[in-house]
Structures are given as C-alpha cells and as structure tokens.
Homo-oligomer: A and B are copies of this chain.
Amino acid sequence: MKLNIALLAGDGIGPEVIDQAVKVSDAVAAKFGHEITWAPALTGAAAIDAVGEPYPDETHDVCVAADAVLFGAIGHPRFDNDPSAKVRPEQGLLKMRQKLGLFANVRPTFTFPSLIEKSPLKKERIEGTDLVFLRELTGGIYFGKRGREDNDNTAYDTCTYTRAEVERLARKGFEMAQQRSKKLCCVDKANVLETSRLWRETVQKLEKEYPDVEVSYEFVDAVAMRLVQWPNSYDVLITENLFGDILTDEASVISGSMGLMPSASLGEKTSLFEPIHGSYPQAAGKDIANPLATVLSAAMMFETAFGLQDEADAIRTVVNKSLAEGVVTEDLAEGGKAYKTSEVGDWLAKNI
C-alpha cells in the first residue's frame, strides 16, 4: 500500500516523540511491503512563530491531501499565563478539529500489568480496566455562540447539538461496543440539560438497530465517581464534547500509564492520531520523553485509518517487548537503566 501521512510534530516534546513513531512506522512499512510518504507541516506555537497562525491553511491542505494525520502535541508555556493572548496554540487545535471534521475522539484507558503499581488507585480497583471513551469533538459548547452583554458584565456560552451529530457519534459507539464487550454507556446530564435529553432520546432510538449491545445511561457526575471507584466496570462510553474533555482526562490518570495512552480523532474523510499527553515543555529537547504513546498512536493509525491489523499488532507486540525487557525512558526505569527517547525508538524499529 502507498500511505501518505501528514506529520504534525507540534511543540515541546512533539518533534522528539514523533520521530520515534516515524522510525517504527517505517520499519513496519518495510516489513509488510508498504511505502510511506511523510508530509510534515507546522502547527501550534511553532506555526505561530513561523506564520502567525496555529493551524495555517498550508497545514490544512497537507492534512486534507493525506490518508491520515500523525500528531505530536501543541502548547507552549509562553502562552499559559496569558489567557487573553490574541493567538493561542489551542485555537489551532479547535480549528483543526472543525476544519477536518474530526467528530469522534477515541480515548482508550487500559492497563499494562508491569505498570499497574504506578496507578494512584489500589491494584484491585484498577486491575483489568480496559475502557474506551468516544468524545464528540466538533460540537457542543466548544463551538456554540458565545459573547458578552450588558456592558461586558454578563458572559454566555451556548451548547448546541443536532440529532444528526449525536447519531453519527453514537453509531461509532455502538459499532465499537459490538467489537468489544457489547456494553455501551451514554453519559449525559439529562436531568438538567435539553441537549442531554436529545442525546438520550437519539441513543434510545438507535438501540433497536444494535440489539446485541447493552446500553446504560448514566449522569456525568455519577460517572466521575464510578471511574475512580470501579473503572473496570466500564467498556465503551459515549459523551458530548465538554463532558468528554473532563472525563477522558480523569480516566487517563487512573491507569498509571498516562504516558502510554494513544488516541484517535476520527473524521468522515481524514483521521488524526496523537498521544494524549501534552507538549511537556520541561522535557523538550532533552531526548528523555517517553515515545510509547505516540508509537501506539501510530498503531491505532495502521488499524483504524488503513485497516492494517497485522501491522498494528506488530507495533503493539514490540512495545510490550520493550516494556518487558526494560527498554524504557526514565519515567518508567524504576532504578533500572533509563534509555533515551531516540534509543527506545531505534530499539523498537530494529525489533519489529
């Protein structure tokens, strides 16, 4: 297969971890007889510096032309203490999601037996956790009308959802549940919000098209609790944009393997794959960041964007091997040898 992949390294540790994912992807491609063309493009603070825009039109064109997008991380401390800055890296993220139509953010949380001790939760609570959130990513209060009134003394934001938006996301959830444990949880606040009632209504209507999937409906506050108490009681969860923002981040820390968690943002045409960790500026340029989340995001890309399951499995197998053999960066070294970011990447590529 010929694979044309847009490569958005972004800020902070983005470029370093992306480099390793490129090495590993190239190794997989060589092994299975594919040919990858990488199309690098600017995003985030790097793009603001170069062209004054966090998601420039040229970058968008590169993404649209590609078969998939591999993304590092964006964000720079220079913008952090200045919420009123005119141009901010995050705006690039939101613009990218909207322009590429990345409507479904797929965020798995699973455990690695060798890392379970790193979880803030007790072992018996976290063991066996393997859940996945589908967060709606291009609607809701993120993209509704907002502004000020009454002489700047009143502010408002509007959360809006259409039935079609909910249905599109929900169908992905049902399909994913069918491929997993056939359990789907719809997370909303239907006891208060009209948009949540639309969500619930729409999902309820879809139930009969997926009779093999068992659907439950839970309020967002209850889920925020149960994620800490019994995370392994969940399988697939679907939810709207803002609830998803909060809950996926909460879920990401319970496993103790946050530095290893990949994600996908699915669009109708193009999809994007990225580690869930941020740009981690303190570590930038030091060749110490853990590249595994980005490498595992590449695995999701092979599987989801290209339908290449064996290639994805080959990546996951070599990642597990690196963990088992202790070829890991300092965050996982536990007193053993700490490998450099680039050394881990080289080792993975060689052992694929």
Please judge, given known A-B contacts A153-B163, A159-B141, A249-B221, whether A254 and B242 are in contact too, CB under 8 Å: no
A41 interface residue (CB < 8 Å to B): no
For A148, list chain B residues within 8 Å (CB): 194, 198
Distance between Cα atoms of A228 and B121 in the complex (Å):
8
A253 interface residue (CB < 8 Å to B): yes
Distance between Cα atoms of A148 and B124 in the complex (Å):
45
Which of A121, A190, A192 is packed against the most chain B CB atoms within 10 Å? A192
Q: Is the CB of B193 within 8 A of A157?
A: yes
Which of B121, B163, B197, B246 interacts with A120 by CB under 8 Å?
B121
For A150, list chain B residues within 8 Å (CB): 162
Q: Is the CB of A191 within 8 A of B88?
A: yes
A324 interface residue (CB < 8 Å to B): no
Chain A contact residue count (CB 8 A cutoff): 57
Q: Is the CB of A200 within 8 A of B246?
A: no
Q: Is the CB of B249 within 8 A of A229?
A: no
Which of B157, B161, B190, B228 interacts with A154 by CB under 8 Å?
B161
A146 interface residue (CB < 8 Å to B): yes
A230 nearest in chain B by CB position:
B120
For A158, list chain B residues within 8 Å (CB): 156-159
Distance between Cα atoms of A243 and B157 in the complex (Å):
14
Q: How far is the CB of A296 from chain B (nearest CB, A)?
A: 20
Closest CB pairs A-B (n = 3)? A155-B198, A146-B194, A224-B250
